[in-house]
Amino acid sequence: MGHRVGIVGFRGYSGEDLIRLLSPRPEMELFLMEHRADSQDRARPRGYTGPARIPCTAEALRASGIDVVFLATPADVSMDLTPWILEAGAKVIDLSGAFRLGTAENYRRWYKEEHTQAALLQQAVYGLPEFHREKIRAARLLSNPGCYPTAANLAIAPLVEAGIVDRGAGVVCDAKSGVSGAGRKPSLKTSYCEVTENFSAYSLLDHRHVPEVLRNSGLDEAEFSFTAHLLPLDRGILETIYFRTLNISSADEIVAIYEKRYAGEPFVRIYNPGQVPDLRAIQRTNFCDIGVQWNEGRAVVVSAIDNLVKGAAGQAIQNMNLMLGLPEEAGLL
């Protein structure tokens, strides 16, 4: 038996990756839900027929018998659409930041806007399967994690949990992302001539993804220094994480902690001590790759994901698989 799946925001980069990953699956029927045609369709060869297109309305949703809707939309659009989609009986997987923080207050602080659907925050499940798998299976409103926090939490949380992080000295997360993380809407900051042969830091110590890391890693705000950077490339996130260690005397011991924590996890891969992933290792895959170096009390962890896959569309599909009772890896390996 198949599943009927809707996508809003299908022209954006995350939307395109949802189509790329879902199209080859025979058990999935896709519906592209036209919300605002703010971006042009790409030129296509003769005879091309993509997935069906329907209006983004409750009627069309019901008529198409859609089970689950991916929202690859800005947070304000997600807040507008979620209530009536849920009411129409479909599950929602939201890729925006709308439902990632637990309270309207926290949302206001970090997103500098009012939350218009505060009542839904309680029921939203944070979709990091390696940490919340059971809740995800039962979710009706799934909040897909941010790209930076996915790479950060998978790297940091097991070590905090294991008690080897000297939290008093603080944890530094120096994060670098490709340009597709900023979305497809044209802007000066993401124009070719501004980005090529350039590299820049932004959101120093106040990125809106910080609270997602605090909520899931166990760190306090005063313990965590995060800065984002824009890489001159299309896709990929690499985070270099620094901390001082307690009760550790080699990189091997840190690798062992990861191996134990992630045993059986299909999408987290650990490297041998002293080896670290580059972006090539994870581009166009749903893997989060993690490597470690250690030297006399100082540790460095490198965590890498594809921001559009494990950082967006891929993890969203991993969550969908769980929510629909399908094999978690389906369509992702």
Residue 278 interacting with its own copies (CB under 8 A): yes
Give 32 or 210: the residue with its C-beta nearer to its own copies: 210
Residue 45 interacting with its own copies (CB under 8 A): yes
Stated as kind and residue range, the H or E segment containing 171 is strand 171-177
Give 123 or 200: the residue with its C-beta nearer to its own copies: 200
Residue 271 interacting with its own copies (CB under 8 A): yes
Q: Which positions from 289 through 308 interact with its own copies, judged by CB under 8 A?
A: 289, 293-298, 300, 302
- Furthest CA-CA distance within the chain: 64
**C-alpha pair distances (Å), 264 with each of 259, 301, 328:** 9, 21, 12
Cβ-contact 143, 151 below 8 angstroms: no
Q: Which positions from 5 through 44 interact with its own copies, judged by CB under 8 A?
A: 13, 39-40, 42-44
**Residue 292 DSSP one-character state:** E
Q: Sign of dihedral through CA atoms 325, 18, 310, 207?
A: negative
Amino acid identity for residue 301 in this structure: V
Residue 325 interacting with its own copies (CB under 8 A): no
Residue 116 interacting with its own copies (CB under 8 A): no
Give 30 or 66: the residue with its C-beta nearer to its own copies: 30
Q: How many residues bind its own copies (CB under 8 A)?
A: 78
**Residue 22 DSSP one-character state:** H
CA gap 287, 162 in Å, rounded: 23
User: Shortest distance, CB of residue 178 to its own copies, whole angstroms?
Assistant: 8
Residue 199 interacting with its own copies (CB under 8 A): yes
According to CB under 8 A, which one of 49, 138, 192, 247 is a site residue for its own copies? 192
Amino acid identity for residue 37 in this structure: A
According to CB under 8 A, which one of 49, 87, 197, 325 is a site residue for its own copies? 197
Give 57 or 275: the residue with its C-beta nearer to its own copies: 275
CA gap 64, 286 in Å, rounded: 29
* Interface segment toward its own copies; rule CB under 8 A; list 79-87, 99-107, 274-282, 322-330: 274-282
Give 1 or 43: the residue with its C-beta nearer to its own copies: 43
Residue 244 interacting with its own copies (CB under 8 A): yes
Active site residue 193: no
User: Shortest distance, CB of residue 214 to its own copies, whole angstroms?
Assistant: 14
Contacts of 150 (CB under 8 A, 6+ apart): 128, 288, 305, 310, 311, 315
According to CB under 8 A, which one of 93, 238, 248, 323 is a site residue for its own copies? 238
Which residue, 14, 11, 13, is CA-closest to 317? 14
User: Shortest distance, CB of residue 144 to its own copies, whole angstroms?
Assistant: 20
Query: Cα-flanking dihedrals φ and ψ of residue 82, to 5°?
Result: -55, -45
Quickly count: other Cβ atoms within 10 Å of residue 112's Cβ: 8
Residue 103 interacting with its own copies (CB under 8 A): no
According to CB under 8 A, which one of 103, 122, 123, 196 is a site residue for its own copies? 196
Q: Which positions from 155 through 184 interact with its own copies, judged by CB under 8 A?
A: 168-170, 172, 174, 176, 178-180, 184
Quickly count: other Cβ atoms within 10 Å of residue 1's Cβ: 3
According to CB under 8 A, which one of 2, 50, 274, 327 is a site residue for its own copies? 274
Give 1 or 222: the residue with its C-beta nearer to its own copies: 222
β-bridge mates for residue 227, sequence order: 174
Residue 187 interacting with its own copies (CB under 8 A): yes
Q: DSSP labels for 98-113?
A: TTSSSSHHHHHHHHSS
Cβ-contact 304, 237 below 8 angstroms: yes
Catalytic residues, by residue number, are 147
